[in-house]
Amino acid sequence: MHHEFKESADLTKMVVGHELWLGQTRKEGDQREVSLLFGHNMCTDGVLNPARVKPLIYRPDGSTIQPTMSSESDRQRLRFPFAGDGCYTAIVDLVPIVVSQNSEGYHIGPKFQFKNDGWAKTPMTEDGDWMFLAKHRDPTKKVNEEFDMTNFVTTLVMEVQ
C-alpha cells in the first residue's frame, strides 16, 4: 500500500466493502456511551483513525453535543453527558479526503498540490506563426445547480523562422 494511504487505510477498506456502524450503549452516572464499530459484514476489523471520524449527538430538544471519543482495540467509544429522558440520536460521518492521481501515482490532497507539468514534442515543419491550445477539464471543481466542471484553457503562440 502506498505510504500516503496508510493514514487513511480505512478508506481503502471501505472501497472493498467495509462499513461503520453504531453498537452497544452504556450508562455511567450522568454520562452515556455508544460504540462505533468498523468492519465487514458486521464483524469488526480494527478501528477507524479518530482524525477521520466526525461524530455528533442530537439531544431530545434538538440541540447538539460534540461527544468525546476514545479508542479501544476493536472500537471507538463516543461519550456524552446525559441531560434527562428522551431520544438521543448519534450521527457519525467520515471526514472526506481528496485523492488525486498524476503520472507519479495517487496522492492524498487536491490536484493543485501535486503539479505534473505535461510535455509535448511537436516538429516545426514550416516557418510561420504556430498556436497551441491546451485544455484541462476538472469535474471536481463544480458548483451544484450552476455548472458541472471547470475548464482551464491556455494558449501558447510562437513564431518559427
pLDDT tens sequence for the chain (161 residues): 445 445 555 555 554 556 788 888 999 899 999 999 888 777 888 888 888 889 999 999 999 999 999 998 889 999 999 988 899 999 888 776 666 777 777 777 776 776 666 666 777 888 887 777 677 777 787 777 666 777 776 666 677 87
Residue extents of the structural domains in the chain: 3-94, 122-161
Is the domain spanning 3-94 CATH 1.10.3580? The answer is no
Nearest residue to 156 (alpha-carbon basis) of 124, 129, 132:
132
pTM: 0.55
Residues in the chain: 161
Q: What is the pLDDT of residue 153?
A: 67
Place of cell 463544480: 142
**Pairing status of strand 105-108 against strand 64-65:** unpaired
54 neighbors 92 (Cβ within 8 angstroms) = yes
Sign of CA dihedral 80, 83, 88, 93: negative
Q: What is the pLDDT of residue 66?
A: 95
